[in-house]
């Protein structure tokens, strides 16, 4: 097939505009169609990238060719004899890992945001020429991407090559004056390109990421499936997010999550960054190469439904932190704290009794990605519950096989069957494979854990590994769990049954939890609480004001709903014991815990 030739130039960085061209040598004689994706793989929401197309036109040689718009993101060109070129101007002002961004400081794009798909020629190889913006200001810009180079020099502008359209849009590109650190993991070259102001210790990042990447590669088995890998990191004041690709990942983080020079221990913030890196890197196997059949191939025009996001996001979330303790970057106690926090987040979601994790996966497009004030009551996260299902499955297999098998074996079997072959995973595929790989009957567990809202047997399964699960009420709105209580007072917000954020001296209710005191009293999301028993809570905040009161007490609460002052009488409830603390049981047999957290293999 003749290659499709794309060019992209940051034509007006100050106006956030890329100019993209796409040249087809042998267009469809009945009129070539083009389309921009409605979504970007890995982020399950309809984003309609065509809405950022500012201008589009077509030409054959020097002759203009008419374009007809067919729907929100598709166009058809008038039939032509020779080659056909479409040119687009695309507005780019989204700094997230799933968007496209351009200013005078740097540029970043996902191909799905900018490159039109040539219908009928998706399988043709793609050549991409990336041009440097004009002007002295951009003289020192470099380029980072995992896309194979054709004519371009290392980290240079020029021509790159992708096997087909799917590959073209799976290689995000960063351009600007980023800092760069490189290392090899199991012989494979890896780059870390960091954009944004930061003072990260690059030597340390190189060392820690190498250790982590080698852990993941050996987990699935050498050789690594990628020829090279690039971490595209954007450091900002406050931010968090990532998007996975086969040979790279785009990460957005807070600059304070990067380890500063001179720091030695792993701070909570750096642990967050390592967890994100670990998560996205694990995806290079689990979802980018082992894929649900529903994604083979991706249908970029519309939603792609699967009940399996619990496995692709949940299992990945389970292994992201587990890999950190297994490769020695964090301690066992850190891991138990992180796990305690996940369990806490799960227990604080009333929606876990309403929505199963399979339903949560299927409805990701309209629920997880489009959360509102009622989400905690009506939905459960396939990340959080999915990771706890993975935990239960792992511990159940370990217990029932007396430590001979584990979820690790299931993942390696999955890799051999669906990763190395590229065969999509059927909706019931992982359940069948888990039984095959372990020799256990697991159907009723999957029915309970995936397709029902029954509680997960976390306490009993953790006990099999010598881990004791304790529950206590939240101490404050900031208490995420994982650690023993510091005081005996329960959080006021928990007794009222709301989530809230401070706004000046007032508190704005963000969520009213199902069955709580606030709901019973008639308080609603958006209400701005200004007084408790006639007094403004002030600097210490509503949480502290309520924590001084006791469960069962009635309190008068004043709040503005829009511009109307309302009065409510709330009867405070005993705060739920929904905050989880995990500890090693005294006198526990150490072997299972060692085998789980520090296995020799992988």
Q: Which residues bind Zn ion (CB under 5 A)?
A: 313
- Both structure tokens of 509: 């209710």
CB atoms within 10 A of CB 297: 13
Asked if residue 163 lies in contact with residue 40, where contact means CB atoms within 8 angstroms, the answer is no
Spatial distance between the Cα atoms of 583 and 544, rounded to a whole number of angstroms: 28
Strands 229-236 and 67-71: unpaired
3-state secondary structure of 341: helix
Q: How many residues does the chain have?
A: 602
Query: Which among 38, 94, 42 is positioned nearest to 244, based on CA atoms?
Result: 42
Spatial distance between the Cα atoms of 354 and 6, rounded to a whole number of angstroms: 48
Residue nearest to Zn ion (CB): 313
* Minimum gap (Å) between residue 273 Cβ and Zn ion: 15
Per DSSP, 321 falls in state: H
* Nearer of residues 247 and 313 to Zn ion, judged by Cβ: 313
Per DSSP, 535 falls in state: B
441 phi and psi angles, rounded to 5 deg: -90, 115
* Nearer of residues 127 and 313 to Zn ion, judged by Cβ: 313
Spatial distance between the Cα atoms of 241 and 25, rounded to a whole number of angstroms: 39
* Minimum gap (Å) between residue 529 Cβ and Zn ion: 36
* Nearer of residues 313 and 363 to Zn ion, judged by Cβ: 313
Asked if residue 529 lies in contact with residue 567, where contact means CB atoms within 8 angstroms, the answer is no
For residue 503, list its beta bridge partners. 506
Spatial distance between the Cα atoms of 475 and 452, rounded to a whole number of angstroms: 31
* Nearer of residues 257 and 313 to Zn ion, judged by Cβ: 313
* Nearer of residues 356 and 387 to Zn ion, judged by Cβ: 387
* Nearer of residues 278 and 579 to Zn ion, judged by Cβ: 278
* Minimum gap (Å) between residue 27 Cβ and Zn ion: 38
* Minimum gap (Å) between residue 361 Cβ and Zn ion: 13
Spatial distance between the Cα atoms of 194 and 233, rounded to a whole number of angstroms: 5
* Minimum gap (Å) between residue 316 Cβ and Zn ion: 5
* Nearer of residues 320 and 527 to Zn ion, judged by Cβ: 320
* Minimum gap (Å) between residue 283 Cβ and Zn ion: 6
Spatial distance between the Cα atoms of 125 and 163, rounded to a whole number of angstroms: 5
* Nearer of residues 115 and 383 to Zn ion, judged by Cβ: 383
* Minimum gap (Å) between residue 141 Cβ and Zn ion: 30
Strands (E), 123-187: 126-130, 142-144, 158-162, 173-176, 179-185
* Nearer of residues 175 and 364 to Zn ion, judged by Cβ: 364
* Minimum gap (Å) between residue 242 Cβ and Zn ion: 7
* Minimum gap (Å) between residue 448 Cβ and Zn ion: 24
* Minimum gap (Å) between residue 369 Cβ and Zn ion: 13
Element (H, E) at 467: strand 467-472
* Minimum gap (Å) between residue 216 Cβ and Zn ion: 14
**DSSP annotation string for 477-528:** TT--SSS--SSSPPPHHHHHTEEEEEETTEEEEEEE-TTSHHHHHT--TT-E
Alpha-helix runs per DSSP H in 78-201: 111-114, 165-168
3-state secondary structure of 33: strand
Spatial distance between the Cα atoms of 602 and 595, rounded to a whole number of angstroms: 12
* Minimum gap (Å) between residue 389 Cβ and Zn ion: 15
* Nearer of residues 386 and 492 to Zn ion, judged by Cβ: 386
* Nearer of residues 75 and 282 to Zn ion, judged by Cβ: 282
Spatial distance between the Cα atoms of 175 and 152, rounded to a whole number of angstroms: 14
* Nearer of residues 44 and 157 to Zn ion, judged by Cβ: 44
Q: What is the 3-state secondary structure (H, E, C) of 181-215?
A: EEEEECCEEEEEEEECCCCECHHHHHHHHHHHHHH
């Amino acid at each position: 097939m003749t290659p499709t030739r794309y060019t992209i130039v940051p034509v007006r960085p100050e106006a956030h505009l890329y100019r993209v061209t796409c040249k087809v040598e042998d267009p469809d004689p009945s009129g070539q169609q083009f389309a921009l994706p409605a979504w970007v793989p890995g982020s399950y929401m309809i984003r309609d990238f065509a809405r950022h197309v500012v201008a589009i036109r077509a030409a054959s040689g020097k002759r203009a060719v008419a374009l007809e718009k067919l729907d929100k993101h598709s166009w058809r060109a008038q039939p032509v004899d020779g080659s056909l070129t479409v040119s687009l101007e695309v507005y780019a002002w989204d700094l997230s890992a799933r968007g496209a961004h351009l200013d005078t400081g740097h540029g970043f794009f996902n191909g799905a945001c900018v490159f039109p798909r040539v219908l009928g020629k998706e399988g043709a190889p793609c050549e991409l020429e990336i041009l440097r913006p004009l002007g002295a200001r951009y003289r020192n810009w470099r380029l980072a991407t995992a896309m194979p180079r054709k004519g371009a020099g290392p980290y240079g502008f020029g021509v790159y090559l992708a096997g087909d359209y799917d590959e073209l849009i799976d290689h995000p590109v960063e351009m600007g004056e980023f800092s760069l650190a490189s290392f090899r993991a199991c012989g494979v070259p890896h780059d870390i390109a960091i954009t944004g102001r930061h003072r990260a210790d690059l030597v340390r990042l190189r060392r820690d990421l190498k250790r982590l990447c080698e852990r993941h590669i050996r987990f699935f088995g050498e050789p690594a499936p990628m020829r090279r890998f690039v971490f595209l990191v954007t450091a900002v004041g406050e931010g968090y997010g990532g998007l996975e690709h086969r040979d790279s990942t785009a990460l957005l983080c807070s600059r304070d999550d990067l380890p500063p020079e001179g720091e030695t221990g792993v701070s909570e913030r750096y642990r967050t960054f390592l967890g994100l890196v670990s998560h996205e890197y694990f995806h290079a196997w689990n979802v980018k190469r082992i894929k649900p059949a529903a994604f083979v191939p991706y249908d970029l025009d519309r939603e792609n439904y699967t009940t399996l996001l619990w496995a692709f996001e949940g299992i990945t979330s389970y292994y992201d932190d587990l890999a950190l303790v297994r490769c020695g970057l964090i301690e066992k106690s850190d891991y138990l704290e992180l796990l305690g926090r996940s369990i806490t987040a799960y227990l604080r979601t009333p929606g876990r009794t309403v929505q199963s994790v399979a339903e949560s996966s299927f409805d990701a497009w309209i629920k997880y990605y489009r959360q509102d004030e009622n989400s905690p009551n009506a939905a459960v996260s396939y990340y959080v519950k999915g990771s706890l299902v993975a935990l239960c499955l792992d511990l159940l297999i370990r217990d029932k096989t007396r430590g001979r098998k584990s979820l690790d074996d299931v993942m390696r079997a999955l890799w051999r069957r669906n990763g190395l072959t590229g065969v999509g995973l059927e909706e019931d595929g992982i359940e069948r494979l888990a039984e095959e790989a372990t020799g256990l009957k697991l159907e009723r567990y999957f029915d309970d854990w995936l397709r029902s809202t029954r509680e997960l047997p976390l306490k009993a399964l953790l006990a099999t590994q010598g881990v004791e699960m304790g529950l206590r009420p939240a101490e404050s709105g900031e208490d995420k769990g994982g650690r023993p209580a510091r005081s005996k007072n329960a959080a006021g917000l928990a007794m009222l049954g709301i989530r809230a954020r401070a706004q000046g001296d007032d508190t704005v209710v963000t969520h009213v939890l199902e069955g709580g005191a606030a709901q019973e009293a008639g308080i609603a999301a958006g209400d701005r609480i200004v007084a408790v028993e006639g007094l403004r809570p002030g600097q210490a905040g509503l949480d502290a004001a309520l924590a001084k009161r006791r469960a069962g007490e009635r309190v008068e609460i004043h709040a503005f709903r829009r511009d109307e002052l309302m009065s409510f009488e709330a009867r405070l409830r005993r705060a739920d014991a929904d905050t989880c603390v995990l500890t090693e049981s005294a006198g526990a047999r150490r072997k299972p815990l060692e085998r789980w957290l520090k296995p020799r293999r992988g």
